[in-house]
Every structure is written in C-alpha cells, then in structure tokens.
Amino acid sequence: MLERCLVVDDHEMIRETIAIMATSLGFKECIMAVDGADAISKLYHSRPSLIITDLQMEPIDGLEMLRLIRSGRYGLPHDIPIIILTANASESVIAQCISFDVDAFLVKPVNRLSLQERINQLSQQAKPKKTVEHYFSMYQQDPAKSTAFQVNGTVAFNDEDLKEFDMLIHGQKPDPVMTSSASFVPKSSEPQFVPKNEDNRKRFIKWQDRFTVGNEELDASNKELLNIINDTYDLIVNHEEGAVFEDISKRFQHYINQHIFREESLLEEHGYARLKVHRDIHARLLKQADFVVLKCQADPSFYKTDFFRLLRFWWVKHVVQEDTQYKSTLSQGG
C-alpha cells in the first residue's frame, strides 16, 4: 500500500503539501499530477499504489478520472484505491463517485491526521471492487445524477416514513394526516422527543423492555446503538459541526461489524428459520451504511441529515421490527 502515491491537484501548493504529508506517513515515493489527464499518464507509466485526487480540475476532473480508471480504460489498473478531496461538492457528484466505488473522501483543507486516518482505513479494510465490465457498462450508460438517498436505485425511506419511525420509537400511534416536514430534527419545544439523562444531555430514545431481543449480549450491543443515536441527536441539537461526528461514525461502524457477526452466529446456532432473510436484510443495510458514511466523509453536513436518518431507520425497521422476531427462538434455546 505504501509504495508509491499519486497526488493530483491543479494547485501546486496543495499537491506539494499533500505529497509531503504522504511521504511523512510512510510512502516511499510521491508522484504529482496537475489534472486528470496528466494523472492518467502517470498512472499508466508509474503504477502507484494509491491515488489522492482533487475533484475540480480541467480538462479531466476527479470524477471523470475515477470513471475512466474503474472502467479499465487505457489499460489502467481499475481496482487501485482512490481518495477524493472535496470542497463544496454537490450531492449528485458525491453519489456518482460512490457508485464508481471511490474508496474514501477527504474534506479540504487536508491535515496530516485526517490523511493518516484515511490511509489507515484503506490499509485495514480495502473496499472490494467489481469487474471492469460492470464499471464500463455504467460508464457507457452515463447514468443521470441522483440527489436522493438511494440503494440500488430505490429510495430507502422518505420524510413521512421518518415521522412514522419517530412515533413508533416513542410508543405513539402515527397520525395519518401528518404531513411531510423538511426538518429531520425534532424541535426542542416538543418534550416527548427530548428527555434528559443524568448528565443533562438530550436523548432521542429511551431504552424500553419491548426493545429486547431475548439475549443479554445482543441487547447490550443494541443499547450501544441507542447511545449512538442519542449522542448524534445531542450533537445536532447543540449545533456541533465537523470532526466531532467522525467519532460517532466510527462507533457505528464498530457496532455494525461486531453486532452483525455475533447476531448471525447466534441465530445459526439456534436454527432460526428466518436466518437467510435476516442475512439478506443485513446485506442491504450494510450497503446503505457504506453509502451514507462515504457521503459524510465527502461533506460532514450529511451527518445531520442522511446519517441521522440511517440510524433511525436501522433502529425502527431492523432492531425493533425485525430483530425482536427472533426473541422466542433465542429464549427457547437459552
């Protein structure tokens, strides 16, 4: 991984600064390119092990370069890890980058610590790539830009769904005449949404006995997810910004990795009849989570919208409505 790094940016100072950072983090050599066209030539001849590229360049920008590389054009190694630098990128451009399996985003201005975190992330868990044919087919179709929260072209949930989730979370019946709202954060004037815990922080959800899945270990794991939701909510209502959300995101990813593995192992051990269905649901949720986490890397403002939506969706549609179905199975086996 740390053999040779290609840094692409049309600003000389930025690319030289990033190259110095990358060298200090262990890369044996850093090559620099002034735009996407120059980068493709350098990639072809020098075969770097990582590309760090800006988005906005002429004549070939970072998105087009990503599309060309993943499509295997000009004999390029299509599965090379790529980190894209963002600054005010549109949601549609971010979505297109994700569809071509960008490995990570990094918000400008870049500092050494954030760059190190992204490199460590890729070293520990490389993002799997699809076939050249898959990307080439996408490149030929040149799909329309999308600004919706989507998974495989399907909108996962809308504003009315979110209001229903909130009602279900708090044990209330959804109001059939309730209209959609542009706000995804309950107002502080609505006390049912803002109970306070011992340290006076605002909480979005309280643990209730009806949330149990019949296993103490899995319940403890789901309580951590509930803490993640509440901590995210607290950051939002207190108007926090930027890096503080990254720690929440890391906790969520840790929850996903630990919880899903343990849950599927237990369900298989107890012969759960819906295990295949449950695994398929997990696979879809993991795709949603990957999509949202990458969007938040590209633009941290999405932590307050898409990330918080995902947490609520995961809790209600999966933990409360799906996971509780195996309670009797685990209880009988215990």
pLDDT tens digits, 194-226? 344 445 566 788 899 999 999 999 999 999 999
Using CB atoms within 10 Å of the CB of residue 240, give its burial: 0 to 12 exposed, 13 to 18 middle, 19+ buried: middle
Q: What is the pLDDT of residue 151?
A: 33
Mean pLDDT of all residues in the chain?
A: 82
Per-residue confidence at 38, pLDDT binned at 50, 70, 90? Answer: very high
**In whole angstroms, how far apart are CA 61 and each of 57, 70, 76?**
4, 14, 17
Provide mean pLDDT across the span 94-116.
94
Question: 164 or 94: which carries more pLDDT confidence?
Answer: 94
Q: How confident is the model at residue 170 (pLDDT cuts 50, 70, 90)?
A: low
pLDDT for the residue 185: 38
- Cα separation, 126 vs 295, in Å, equals 17
Q: Choose between 180 and 260: higher pLDDT.
A: 260
Give me the pLDDT at residue 69, please: 94
| pLDDT at 163 (0 to 100) | 59
Contact 237, 202 (CB under 8 A): yes
pLDDT bucket at 58, cuts 50 / 70 / 90? confident
Share of the chain above pLDDT 70, in %: 81
Predicted structure pTM score = 0.76
240 φ/ψ sector (left φ>0, alpha ψ -120 to 50, else beta): beta
- Which secondary structure element, helix H or strand E, spans residue 30, and what is its range? strand 29-33
Q: What 8-state DSSP symbol labels residue 100?
A: T
pLDDT at 76: 84
Mean per-residue pLDDT, 254-281: 94
Evaluate if residue 246 carries a pLDDT over 60.
yes
Confidence band of 189 (pLDDT split at 50, 70, 90): very low
Q: How confident is the model at residue 85 (pLDDT cuts 50, 70, 90)?
A: very high
Q: pLDDT at residue 147 above 60?
A: no
Hey, CA dihedral for 194, 200, 201, 203, is it positive or negative?
Answer: negative
Q: What is the pLDDT of residue 145?
A: 35
Task: Tell me what the mean pLDDT of segment 161-165 comes to.
Answer: 55
